[in-house]
């Protein structure tokens, strides 16, 4: 009589097949988890860039002396920083060829400088309830739309709009 001390070929093939199925399920779950984590990180990066832009614009625009907004660029004038500097500082925000929002005043990527995001579109429009400065309801307002994309994963987009009401009334809005 023979004693059975090993596995048959069929038992080995079945166990290898089951191990392969389990391995493929675990691998696909891990890949989905990684993609979800990456999408969450990209969303957080884009959201924080929007928030950074909003906080930068909030004080600069609300207290600017003069504002000129035309579609994809924004020009605003603020008072000089020091007592000796009586000249006003003129800033013009536009999107450059490298998809960064730049300030022409010091030619640096002052507003959105990130190696992780690029600016797809930047738009400014008049959002005032009335266009007549003599109307008592006139409160100059600008609507900003900022469309960002992740440089790492070109599929992650984020578009947000916000409205700022201006405190000074000498505003030129097209």
pLDDT in tens, 88-119: 778 788 877 777 777 777 655 455 556 777 88
Q: Which residue has the higher pLDDT, 117 or 36?
A: 36
- Which pLDDT score, from 0 to 100, does residue 128 have? 72
Torsion-angle region of 47 (φ positive above 0: left; ψ -120 to 50: alpha; else: beta): alpha
Question: 102 phi and psi, to 5 degrees?
Answer: -115, 155
Q: Which two tokens stand for residue 56?
A: 């930068």
Token pair 């987009």 in the structure block, residue: 157
pLDDT band at residue 149 using 50, 70 and 90 as cut-offs: confident
- Which pLDDT score, from 0 to 100, does residue 3 have? 65
Nearest partner of 171 among 126, 108, 107, judged by Cα:
126
Euclidean distance between CA atoms 77 and 91, whole angstroms: 6
Residue 117, Cβ density class (10 Å: 0-12 exposed, 13-18 middle, ≥19 buried)? buried
Give the contacts of 152 (CB within 8 A, at least 6 positions apart): 38, 42, 116
Euclidean distance between CA atoms 118 and 98, whole angstroms: 8
C-alpha of 48 from chain center: 7
Residue 61, Cβ density class (10 Å: 0-12 exposed, 13-18 middle, ≥19 buried)? buried
Q: Which residue has the higher pLDDT, 24 or 95?
A: 24
Most confident stretch, 41-45, 125-129, 133-137? 41-45
- The CA-based angle 80-139-121, given to 5 degrees, is 70
For residue 47, pLDDT over 60 is answered with yes
Q: Which residue has the higher pLDDT, 13 or 41?
A: 13
For residue 46, pLDDT over 80 is answered with yes
- Which pLDDT score, from 0 to 100, does residue 80 have? 63
- Percentage of the chain beyond pLDDT 70 is 75
- Which pLDDT score, from 0 to 100, does residue 109 have? 47
Q: Which residue has the higher pLDDT, 20 or 7?
A: 20
Token pair 């030129």 in the structure block, residue: 172
Most confident stretch, 77-86, 120-129, 136-145? 120-129
């Amino acid at each position: 009589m023979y004693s059975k001390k090993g596995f048959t070929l069929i038992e080995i093939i079945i166990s290898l097949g089951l191990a392969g199925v389990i391995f493929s399920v675990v691998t696909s779950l891990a890949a989905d988890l990684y993609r979800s984590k990456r999408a969450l990180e990209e969303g957080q990066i884009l959201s924080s860039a929007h928030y950074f832009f909003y906080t930068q614009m909030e004080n600069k625009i609300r207290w600017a002396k003069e504002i000129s907004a035309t579609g994809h660029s924004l020009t605003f004038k603020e008072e000089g920083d020091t007592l000796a500097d009586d000249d006003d500082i003129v800033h013009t925000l536009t999107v450059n060829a490298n998809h960064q929002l730049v300030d022409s005043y010091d030619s640096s990527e002052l507003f959105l400088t990130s190696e992780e995001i690029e600016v797809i579109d930047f738009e400014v429009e008049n959002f005032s309830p009335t266009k007549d400065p003599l109307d008592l309801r006139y409160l100059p307002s600008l609507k900003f739309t900022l469309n960002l994309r992740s440089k790492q994963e070109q599929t992650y987009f984020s578009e947000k709009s916000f409205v700022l009401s201006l405190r000074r009334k000498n505003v030129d809005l097209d």
